[in-house]
Each structure stands twice: as C-alpha cells, then as structure tokens.
C-alpha cells in the first residue's frame, strides 16, 4: 500500500505541475500579445507624432 500511496502522490504532483505549466504558458501568451499590441500602439503614435510635427508630410498612412 505504501508504493500505491507514493505513486498517487507523484501523479498528483505531476498533474499539478502540468496545470501550473499550462497557466504559465497562458501567461506567456498574454504577455506576447500585450507586447505586440503595445508595439503597434507605439508605432501608430510615432506616425501620428510625425504627421503632427510635419503636416506637409502627406496623407496619413495607417500602420499595417
């Protein structure tokens, strides 16, 4: 019975590790999405600043 108990404990630990790993990957994904969004916003803002500084620059071209 001792070996069975040990096996259940190890399986519980591995399942909790899997759960924490999935939450960590979700966190990393969210951080990557946030970083991408922030990069796009900063690009957009820099374009707007360029246009407001130099209105003869031409038509506003939205970021892609």
DSSP annotation string for 17-50: HHHHHHHHHHHHHHHHHHHHHHHHHHHHHHHHHH
User: In the prediction, which pLDDT does 40 show?
Assistant: 93
Residue 42: the pLDDT is: 92
Average pLDDT on 17-40 reads 86
Q: Using alpha carbons only, what angle is made at residue 48 by residues 47 and 50, rounded to the nearest 5 degrees?
A: 65
pLDDT digits (tens, 9 = 90+) for 6-15: 778 888 878 8
Q: Per-domain residue ranges for the chain?
A: 2-57
Predicted TM-score (pTM) of the model is: 0.46
- pLDDT tens for 37-60 read 999 999 999 888 887 776 555 555
Q: What local confidence, expressed as pLDDT, does residue 20 receive?
A: 77
């Amino acid at each position: 019975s001792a070996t069975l108990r040990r096996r259940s404990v190890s399986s519980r630990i591995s399942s909790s590790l899997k759960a924490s790993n999935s939450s960590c990957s979700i966190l990393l994904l969210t951080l990557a999405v946030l970083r991408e969004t922030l990069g796009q916003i900063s690009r957009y803002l820099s374009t707007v600043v360029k246009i407001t500084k130099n209105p003869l620059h031409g038509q506003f071209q939205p970021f892609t």
